[in-house]
Amino acid sequence: MILWSDDNISISMIFNNLTGQNFKADEYKAYIRNIAFGKMGFVPGTIELYKGGILIASGIIPAL
């Protein structure tokens, strides 16, 4: 799946949500199950954040 935006904020925020940087443990599990898997269609695995074609960060969406 590829997400794209030119606002310089939303994709970074979504990446941080998906990698657990914006939540506490229980909130993160609920977000992954209900939003990432349930509504956004993500699956467990590695994700990457690129800006201007350059890899900025990578993380893992865990299988819960």
With a cut of 90, say whether residue 3 has pLDDT above it: no
The percent of residues above 90 in pLDDT, for the chain, comes to 80
> pTM to 2 decimals?
0.87
For 15-33, how does the pLDDT look when each residue is reduced to its tens digit (9 = 90+)?
A: 999 999 999 999 999 999 9
Rounded CA separation 47/60 (Å):
6
Segments making up each domain of the chain, as ranges: 10-61
In sequence order, the 6+-apart residues with CB closer than 8 A to the CB of 34 are none
Question: Where residue 64 falls among pLDDT bands split at 50, 70, 90?
Answer: confident
